[in-house]
Each structure stands twice: as structure tokens, then as C-alpha cells.
Chain A
Amino acid sequence: MSEVALAKQQPVRRKKTKIEFASIVGFLILLIVTIAMIMPLGFMLSTSLKTTKEMLVFPPTVIPKHFAWDNFKELFVNEEIKFGRQYLNSIIVAIATVIGTVFSSSFVAFGFARYKAKGSQFLFVLVLSTLMLPYPAIMIPQFLLFTKLGLHDSLLPLILPSFFASAYMIFLLKQFFTSIPNELYDAGRIDGCKEIRLYWNLTLPLSGPVIATVAIFSFIWSWNDLLAPVLYLDSQENFTLPIGMAAMLSSKFRIAPWNLMMAASLLSVLPIIVLFSIAQRRFVQGIVLTGIK
């Protein structure tokens, strides 16, 4: 694992002359683009605290005249939205998915990293090829399968597949496991370690950072997923956040409740913001190593 490349971002070394003209132009472009990228987030925050009347004022006010904290309360109190329940559902699905993905994928990656067998290379190519497999190409039979098992309108179809390992995560973890020196395993064997303990007591404890990356990304993918929940979940109290929030648009409000929806969006990105601020390095690593956003 190229920790070096991920550590401090080293600028391309140049002679220490005066700052070049091109750099100034680049700086200004970056400044403008960055502001443009951040502005929608500010708009979300500011709208979430506006009253229904103020949110429709044009031009939009930057700081709400009157902070409508009630918007956040309304989300949890309003029986028609069931936001609290849906938030809980999303948390259940995401955490179960993280547990399933971390354990199954590291288990499988351990197999690919440490053992050779007839067909092991072919099987790894097969793992990589499923990276390209689009979910819409397989969703119909998966849906019919889970429906026949009586799991329609339940959270299980969203959770179960994660216990059978994810190709991205196998790939990511295998890269790391392969870099663990063989001597450690030999020493473990001499000490009488069984293979399963080599996985559980030796490999996993050494792999904290990469496992954190796997956990963060499987959390985010599960948290943001819309298509699978849309297929399986019918009743409002079983919705995960994304469907629940999409449904707010089409619900019975007289005016589209943009302030409530922005408050909901803000609360729904909150776990990501928290994860991001405590583990920014893991985000960068995950993106750079898998190439998947």
C-alpha cells in the first residue's frame, strides 16, 4: 500500500523562485470554483433554518432573519413524514451492512491473499469482473428471489447480500493483506496458530486502517442507496431515508416544504460529515485505492 503517496501531498519540486504568474491564475480559478462548490451546502444549511415564508423570498437571504429550529423538530413530530423511524431504518441497514461487508470481505480477501489453489487466479479475475456488473442488470431476478422468500417490504434484502462479500472490498483488502510479510505467518504457525486464528488474531488486528476504509465506504454506499430500497420497501414505516425524503416531495403538503427537506437532507448527510471529519485520511485512501467515489 502506497502510504507514502497518501501521506502529505508533496508539491512537484520546483526551484524556489518567485511565485509564477500561472500559479496566481490557478489560485484564483480554484478559489472561484471552490466557492461555487461550497455554496449549495450553505444554501442547504440556510434554507433548513428558514420559515416557509422566508424560504420563498427572492433574492434568497443568506442568514435567516428568524432561526426556525422548529423545522428540525417538525421532521420528528410530523406523523406524515415518519422521519425518525426512517432514520433508524437507515442506521440499522447501514450498520448491518458494514458488519457484513467487513467480516465477509476480509475473510474472503484473506483466502485470496494467503492461499494458492487450482483456479485461484481465475476466481480472482472473476471477482474483478463483477466490479463491472451493473446492478440494474441483475436486480429483477434478485427481486423475484427475495419476494419468493417472503422478504418483500423488509430490510433483509438490503442487508443479506453484504454478508457474502463485496468485490471492491475484497480487492482493496487483498492488496493490503498481500503486503503483510510471510514471516509473520510462519512465526504464527510455529507457535501453533490455526489458519482461522491467523486470520482473526493476526491479520485483522494488523489491518485497522484499511478496515476503517472498508467500513466507511460500505456505510456510505448503503446510506445513499436508493434503487434497491425502492424495489423492496412498500410501507412508509419501512422506508430508508432516501425513499422517505424523495416521498416528501410528492406528499400532501400545500407548498413543497423545501425548508423541511433541506433540514432532512442536512440530517441525512450528518453521519457522513462526522465520519469525514474524524477520518478524512481514510476517505482519501479509499477513493485513491479503489478509484471509486
Chain B
Amino acid sequence: MKSTRESRREGRWFYFFISPWLIGFIVFALFPVLASLYYSFTEYDIIHAPEFIGFGNYNELFHDEQFWNSVKVTLKYTFISVPLTLFLSLVFAMLINQKIPFRGIFRTAMYFPSMISGVSMALLWFWVFNPQAGLFNYGLSLFGIDPIHWFLDEKYAMWALIIMSFWGLGGGMLIFLAGLQGVPAHLLEAAKLDGAGRLRTFWNVTFPLISPVFLFQLIIGLIESFQVFTQAYTITQGGPNYSTWFYVYNIYINAFKNFRYGYASAMSWILLIAVTVITFVIMKLSNRYVYYEGGRER
């Protein structure tokens, strides 16, 4: 047992060392979260003092077509891009986890592109999808498909962004690969001896073992795709005809172009609630389905 004096001394050092984070947390996280809650109940344009309007902003949001459109756009992107990316990165991880030549090269070539994100990636893909001279339409032309006006056509702009998102699946693939390599070989051998086929072995042995990784990737993927901004800002400016008017882009326009900080704060808070609820729900559901090694306290 430690003496009281010693543990008090230890406590002082603890708070001494974590103080940078504690200050940063209060100034750059806690205060902004509370302040944006306050602003969300006000009309605020930075020049005049915030004016309290109760639930006025939330009420307006409810009838705001642009807001609902941004929700729709973001959910559409999320529900298509996230599951597909997750699925593909798992499949490629499993392919690379086989006994095949050049595994190292495949692995590197798959995950290097995921390091190139942001504007460089957006510009590159804007050019790849160029209707006249882009690589993508050239590829399609080899199959006799007419040029598609990707980012100029509201039917295709979103799909172009979804295709772009696959380029970043290497990071997820790498995480799955690490998970797959943690699956004990003797379990796979045992399944094989028991006469289980590939699919059965995957479904009953491998997948349960990597399900925590899967879950984590799912949560991170959802949270990231709720926050898509770069593509909308760089490539589409929300168009054509608002078909890529993402949620965070909508916040940005309302706050920093229309100077409606209160209104935008209300949207920020809705985003915060959405992220919290989704994380919580997935964690809850996962308690039932996800296998954690060493069992779980109940």
C-alpha cells in the first residue's frame, strides 16, 4: 500500500503532466461545444451581439429545404461509400493474406494512395474525371461507353465522389490485414479438419475474431463521411444543382459565407448529436455480436 502522502504526491505529478491536454480540452473542445450550443439559440452575425431567439434556428432548419437536402446528400454518400469501402478493403486484405507472390508490392501499392488525401487527391480525380481528356472516360471508351460529364451532371457527380472514395481503402485494408494475421492458425486448421469450407471458416471463425476491427472501422468510416468537405469545396462547390451539397459544406456556407453563426451552430450541434448517437448505438448493438478476446464483463 502506498502512503497517503505518496499518493498525493503522485496525483500532483499526474495533473502536472496532463495539464497541457486539460487546458487544451477546456479551451479548444469543452468551451467550443458549450459555446456553439449557446450560439445555436441565437441570431449572431459577429458584428452585432448575439440575440437570443430560443428554438428559432432549429425551427427554421426543420423547414429549410437546403438543410434536408444536405442531410440526404450526406447520407446517400455515407450509405453507399462506407459499406462498399469496408467490404472491399476486407476482401483485398483477405486476398493479400494468401500465399501469393509480390504480396509486399501489392500491399504497398494499395495503401500508398490512401496517404494522398485532401486537395491533391481531389484535384487529381477532378482531372481523372475530366469529360474530354480524362483517364476515366478514356478507360470507358475502350468498352465503347460514351463520355460521361461526371462533375457537370447531377446524375453522376455523387457517383464520381463515391468512386474516388475507393482510392483511399488501402488504410482500412492494412488494418484488416493486421487483424487477419492475428487469427491463430490452429483455429483455421481445426476448422479445416472438421471439414468446414472456405466460406464457413470465414464466417464462423475468421470474421468473429476480427469483428472488433470491423466495428471500429465502421464507426470511423461513418464519422469521417459525415464530415466530407474537401471534395465539395474543391471540385463541385456543392453542385451541380446541389447534388453534392454535403452537410459540413452547408455549415461552412451558412457560417462563413452568409455570416449566420447561430444558424450554423445549430447544424453543428445536430452533427454532434448524430455522431454521438450513432457511435453509441453501434457500440450497444455490438455488445451482442462482437467477439472480444478474453470475454467481457457483464
Contacts and interface: CB of A to CB of B under 8 A. Distances in A.
Interface string B194-220: 000010000000000000010011011
B190 interface: no
Interface stretch (B11-19, B53-61, B154-162): B11-19
A292 B113 contact: no
Contacts of A230: 233, 252, 256
Contact of B100 (A23, A41, A112): A23
Contacts of A132: 219, 223, 275-276, 279
**Interface residue tally of chain B, by bracket?**
35 or more
B115 interface: yes
Given A132-B279, A141-B36, A40 B255 contact: no
A245 B235 CA distance: 11
A47 B124 CA distance: 10
Interface residues of A, number: 101
Interface stretch (B75-83, B171-179, B288-296): B171-179
Contact of B182 (A5, A31, A261, A276): A5
Nearest to B31: A141
A287 B36 contact: no
Contact of A293 (B23, B99, B171): B171
B119 A112 contact: no
B230 interface: yes
A115 B175 contact: no
B152 to A, nearest CB: 13
Contacts of A60: 133-135, 138
B128 to A, nearest CB: 5
Nearest to A133: B29
B97 A11 contact: yes
A134 B272 contact: yes
Nearest to A225: B118
A222 B99 CA distance: 38
Contact of A30 (B96, B111, B217, B229): B96
Contact of B226 (A55, A134, A241, A283): A134
A130 interface: yes
A110 interface: yes
Interface stretch (A74-82, A162-170, A205-213): A162-170
B261 interface: yes
Given A40-B124, A164-B21, A258 B130 contact: yes
A107 B128 contact: no
B204 to A, nearest CB: 16
Contacts of B234: 226, 246, 249
Given A107-B17, A120-B14, A164 B27 contact: yes
B52 interface: no
Contact of B168 (A165, A225, A268, A293): A293
Interface string A1-33: 000011001111110000100110011011101
Contact of A195 (B13, B98, B100, B108): B13
B14 A5 contact: no
A145 B24 CA distance: 13
A37 interface: yes
B284 to A, nearest CB: 15
Contacts of A26: 95, 98, 100
Q: Which are the 8 A-B pairs with shortest beta-carbon distances?
A: A164-B24, A111-B17, A293-B171, A224-B118, A117-B11, A138-B32, A115-B14, A141-B35
19 contacts: A5-B178, A27-B101, A30-B92, A40-B113, A115-B11, A117-B11, A123-B22, A130-B29, A132-B219, A133-B272, A136-B268, A137-B32, A139-B268, A140-B261, A141-B32, A226-B230, A230-B256, A241-B119, A265-B120
Interface of B: 7, 10-11, 13-18, 20-25, 27-29, 31-33, 35-36, 39, 46, 92, 95-101, 103-120, 122-128, 130, 132-135, 138, 141, 167-168, 170-172, 174-175, 177-178, 180-183, 185, 188, 198, 213, 216-217, 219-220, 223, 226-227, 229-230, 233-234, 248, 251-252, 255-256, 261, 264-265, 268-269, 271-272, 275-276, 279
